[in-house]
Amino acid sequence: MLVAVALASTACVRQTVVGRASASPPPKQQPSVWERQIRNARDAGEGDYQLRVLREKIASDAESIPARLELAKAYRERGYPDIALEVCRLAAARFPESGDLQLAIVRSLYELHRGQDAVAGLEKFLAAHPQQAPQYYSWIGILRDESGQWREGEAAHRKAIELNPADDSLHNNLGYNLLSQKNNAAAAVEFREALKLNPNSRMAKNNLGLALAGLDSTQEAIANWQQAGDRATAHNNLAAVLIEKGNYGAARKELEISLSYNRNLQAALRNLHLVSQLDGNPVTLSQQEQTGWERWKTGVKRLFVGPLDEPRKATASPATGAEQ
């Protein structure tokens, strides 16, 4: 299994305290969800100069779509993606042909982990208002990929490239889709095209390395990873691919090489523990895992002091679980 970065996100929760109504007046109608959200948003914006200015801008120019997009973005950046979504939805109801508003809705739904709603809304919008800009189809591809609908996502990515073949990010996205379908050869073609368009794309270099490693072109894969990072990271990445293939012995060798360049590389250490869990063999930290500086110091000591005792092998406890 490949080691992936786990992102933890926190959302700010606001609660509005409503006073208890007296018994004599007739009960007030309960506010709608949107009214409660507006109240929360207003509370959150009290004292916020930027939000106040944006609200005033919309009040003075009700036809300004950019102002509404700015307001939605401001709420999203302050931890209110649900408010940002409703701002965009109200604006889209007023301006149903605006593609910018539709894309803002898609972004908000994506951040709220509602990808199915996002792609359904975007496809409905495109059916009513056809667009020729690639970002609409790129978003459909990304959302389809997120839900594991790789074939449908591939078609959308190819449509986006058809509309703008000179965008390296679009080729990278298609390459990622093909890589996820285990079509490494086709994925490598797309990553190489992305690098042709943008030779400095670190993401495309890393992805090309993954595609090449899957094709057993290990030396070329390491070369790409080294360009994107360093030698320790390159050999660790190859080890991750080998772990996924179940080749634990070869993975251990790559991890030893990785740790010989950087003994503190956390990804390599985690992978070493993972291999230990998978093959049942203990984790051993050998002399090879010394850094270049430490190897030089050891050599000097042996030259001027004499033979040194071999370092003891330390056995680490198995990790509690591998990162997903």
Residues 6+ apart with CB under 8 A from 51: 44, 45, 71, 74, 75, 78
pLDDT, tens digit (0-9, with 9 covering 90-100), for 285-318:
654 444 454 554 555 444 444 444 443 333 332 2
What residues pair up with 37 in beta bridges, in sequence order? none
Neighbours of 143 (CB within 10 A): 25
According to CATH, the topology of domain 36-129 is 1.25.40
Q: In the structure, what pLDDT confidence band is assigned to residue 38 with cuts at 50, 70 and 90?
A: low
Rounded to whole angstroms, how far apart are CA atoms 172 and 145?
Answer: 13
Q: Specify the amino acid at residue 63.
A: E
Q: 137: closest CA among 156, 164, 161?
A: 156
Rounded to whole angstroms, how far apart are CA atoms 115 and 137?
Answer: 14
- Whole-model pTM: value is 0.69
Q: Do domains 36-129 and 132-212 have the same CATH topology?
A: yes
Per the CB < 8 A criterion, the answer to whether 204 and 191 are in contact is yes
Per the CB < 8 A criterion, the answer to whether 263 and 291 are in contact is yes
According to CATH, the topology of domain 132-212 is 1.25.40
pLDDT confidence of residue 289: 42
Question: How large is the average pLDDT for residues 100-105?
Answer: 95
Per-domain residue ranges of the chain: 36-129, 132-212, 229-324
pLDDT confidence of residue 62: 82
Rounded to whole angstroms, how far apart are CA atoms 62 and 59?
Answer: 6
pLDDT, tens digit (0-9, with 9 covering 90-100), for 113-124:
999 999 999 999
Give percent above pLDDT 90 in the chain.
Answer: 57
